[in-house]
Amino acid sequence: MTEKRRYWIVVVVVAILALIYLIRLFNLQVLNKTYKQKANQNALRYITEHPARGLIYDRNDSLLVYNDAAYDIMVVPNELRPFDTAELCRVLDITKEDVRKKIEKAKKYSFILPSLFEQQISKEDYGFLQEKMYEFPGFFVQNRTLRSYPKPIAAHILGYVSEVNDQDIENDNYYKMGDYIGKSGIEKAYESVLRGEKGKRVVLVDVHNREVGRYENGAEDVVAVPGVSIWSTLDIQLQEYGEQLMANKRGSIVAIEPKTGEILCIISSPSYDPNLLVGTARPKNYGILLEDPRKPLFNRALMASYPPGSTFKLANGLIALQEGIVTPNTIYSCSGGGYHIGSHTVHCHNCGGLNIYSAIQRSCNTYFCRAYYNILSNRRKYKNVQEAYTAWLDYMHSMGFAQKYDTDLPYELKGSIPTAAYFDKKYNGSWNGNTVVSMGIGQGEAAVTPMQMANLLAVIANQGYYIRPHIVRAIGKKDNYNTQFSEKIYSKIDPQHFRTVLQGMKMVVTAGTGRGAQIDGIEVAGKTGTAQNPHGADHSVFALIAPANDPKIVVFCLVENGGFGASVACPIASLVAEKYLNGEVKRKDLEQSMKNLSIR
């Protein structure tokens, strides 16, 4: 091989190698952005832009929940450098052990992705902290919004927001560690509407851990989409007024607009200020509320099951009429101190001869025990007590008892009305109408929620149907009505029987046990109840419909340990109705006495 040939071979080999290196370099620097991105990790910060949650209004445009500015402290473990731990603890008011645990938690999540270190720092604290951030490499501040409540009311139904847990993240890949989610109430039921869509901001960071500008003029930024606002069915003035009436008492008030199923107020007492479960104080305050023996976190309106007491006689009267057991003119006699079952007596007040109107008016135990017994003993229609009882239970189900409404009311419970199989097991198959006759007057095994009793009143007001109770009226715009809960659900009772029962309820208020519910200029129908309580004084119960000739509101009130229905629940329910229908209350002395009344 000649010298010249060897020379050209070497030149070609060198040229080929050079070309290979040039191609590789071009790929690394121009085509492949992996190394550029790794290099940029030391200079760029990827910040999640959390959207503002949708606002929550009442039915009249009054603001119930809004957003306030807040800030989260985030940490990227891979970017941590030695820093003054004592100074960070002082600035954030946490301990060194807190710092250690939070960093360890962040490392378990990811070394290179941001993790929440300290949540919901206030605007005031952020102003001070901002000047110190250069001292803490690996930490940065992320904008958030904080829920705020202009009035300390409706905590149970509005709900609260808190940090996601592992289960939340597993259920929905929208969420990452450090995100927030609605945990109860409207916040939970409408989370997907209220939360909006997250955005992204890419910023340049200097050697002192300070942001110095947007990366490529925001070319890679994604704008966050705010959450959608919601108009609730609540009347903020009525809600606030009802909570004032229930102060220092245990129990609940549920008021519904019967024609629409919209909940006008829903009160569980004792309650709490929803602002307590916001920001860095939330964990501490939640623990205090959780340990409070009065159980302020417990939503009595949706979750508590009570014996319905005499208000249950309304439902049993309707069934007796529908089954033909009684007519409006059927007379039952009440004498001898009550309804007798062998040596046992269901006590009453020797009411004399009564039809269903006067039986409702005077809340006669004897009348409704006899009617209930005869329903279950109707062998012309049912072959045994089990079949008759099952038919009775079907009527109850059709009026909304012993079931959930499955609307936008989180954590609602369905109460309990036993099946025939339950009594077969309890009494070894040997039982009859007298065995369970206490169910006819709302005692025994019957247990219902205040929401279910309010719904019964809506059925009566509508003469046979109800629209499932719900709490959100419109989404996005005030006139964009929420139509998913607009179906009329009909009971198995004919309309004329509701008119009969409603007439009896009018007599309760005009000349019966509920005279304290009278409102000037408004015809009121009602029913008192005294629900037996084995753990103390009886519960005071009242059911109200107004105006009776064109119902616009139904109110169910239960005050635990309040005694007779006429003494506490009746005036409270009546004041709520007056406030809603007239916009103001004229019975100031009654109003003040109910507000001042304390029942332990």
- The predicted-structure confidence for 510-526, as pLDDT tens digits, reads as follows 999 999 999 999 999 99
Based on the fold, state whether residues 250 and 185 are members of the same structural domain: no
Q: pLDDT of 557-580, one tens digit each? A: 999 999 999 999 999 999 999 999
Judge whether residue 39 has pLDDT over 50. Answer: no
**b (16+ CB within 10 A) / e for 302-328:** bbbbbbbbbbbbbbbbbbbbbbebbee
Q: pLDDT of 415-441, one tens digit each? A: 999 999 999 999 999 999 999 999 999
User: Is 457 inside any structural domain?
Assistant: yes
Based on the fold, state whether residues 214 and 319 are members of the same structural domain: no
User: Is 521 inside any structural domain?
Assistant: yes
Judge whether residue 209 has pLDDT over 70. Answer: no
User: What is the predicted pLDDT for the residue at 8?
Assistant: 64
Q: pLDDT of 245-261, one tens digit each? A: 999 999 999 999 999 99
Residue 594's pLDDT band (boundaries 50, 70, 90)?
very high
CA dist 56 to 234, 301, 346, 452, Å?
10, 21, 49, 25
For residue 46, give every residue at least 6 positions away whose Cβ sits within 8 Å of its Cβ, in sequence order, or none: 114, 200, 201, 202
Provide the whole-model pTM: 0.87
Q: pLDDT of 453-503, one tens digit each? A: 999 999 999 999 999 999 999 999 999 999 999 999 999 999 999 999 999
Judge whether residue 207 has pLDDT over 70. Answer: no
Based on the fold, state whether residues 257 and 163 are members of the same structural domain: no
Based on the fold, state whether residues 158 and 255 are members of the same structural domain: no
Based on the fold, state whether residues 28 and 73 are members of the same structural domain: no
Based on the fold, state whether residues 213 and 245 are members of the same structural domain: no
Residue 42's pLDDT band (boundaries 50, 70, 90)?
low
Judge whether residue 17 has pLDDT over 80. Answer: no
Q: Which secondary-structure segment (H or E) carries 205? A: strand 199-205
Query: DSSP string covering 448-465, please?
Result: B-HHHHHHHHHHHHTTSE
CATH number at residue 538: 3.40.710.10
**CA-closest candidate to residue 528, choices 553, 511, 510, 509:** 509
Sign of the torsion angle spanned by Cα atoms 582, 584, 585, 591: positive
Count structural domains, the chain: 3
For residue 216, give every residue at least 6 positions away whose Cβ sits within 8 Å of its Cβ, in sequence order, or none: 202
The amino acid that residue 547 corresponds to is P
User: What is the predicted pLDDT for the residue at 28?
Assistant: 58
User: What is the predicted pLDDT for the residue at 485?
Assistant: 94
User: Residue 9 has which token pair?
Assistant: 């071979």
Based on the fold, state whether residues 131 and 246 are members of the same structural domain: no
User: Is 288 inside any structural domain?
Assistant: no
Q: Is 277 helix (H, G, I), strand (E, B) or coil?
A: helix
User: Residue 185 has which token pair?
Assistant: 């109430």
Based on the fold, state whether residues 228 and 240 are members of the same structural domain: no
Based on the fold, state whether residues 20 and 83 are members of the same structural domain: no
User: Is 18 inside any structural domain?
Assistant: yes
Based on the fold, state whether residues 398 and 326 are members of the same structural domain: yes
CATH number at residue 139: 3.90.1310.10
Based on the fold, state whether residues 130 and 264 are members of the same structural domain: no
User: Is 518 inside any structural domain?
Assistant: yes
User: Is 37 inside any structural domain?
Assistant: no
Question: What is the residue range of 391's domain?
Answer: 236-283+297-596
User: What is the predicted pLDDT for the residue at 37?
Assistant: 47
Q: How far apart are CA 209 and CA 220, in angstroms?
A: 21
User: Is 564 inside any structural domain?
Assistant: yes
Q: How far apart are CA 439 and CA 420, in angstroms?
A: 13
User: Is 491 inside any structural domain?
Assistant: yes
The mean pLDDT value of the chain amounts to: 90
Based on the fold, state whether residues 352 and 490 are members of the same structural domain: yes
User: What is the predicted pLDDT for the residue at 432?
Assistant: 95
For residue 390, give every residue at least 6 positions away whose Cβ sits within 8 Å of its Cβ, in sequence order, or none: 419, 420
**b (16+ CB within 10 A) / e for 368-383:** bbbbbbbbbebeeebe
Judge whether residue 31 has pLDDT over 60. Answer: no
Find the range with the poorest average confidence among 76-90, 301-315, 361-375: 76-90
User: What is the predicted pLDDT for the residue at 208?
Assistant: 62
The amino acid that residue 147 corresponds to is R
Residue 38's pLDDT band (boundaries 50, 70, 90)?
very low
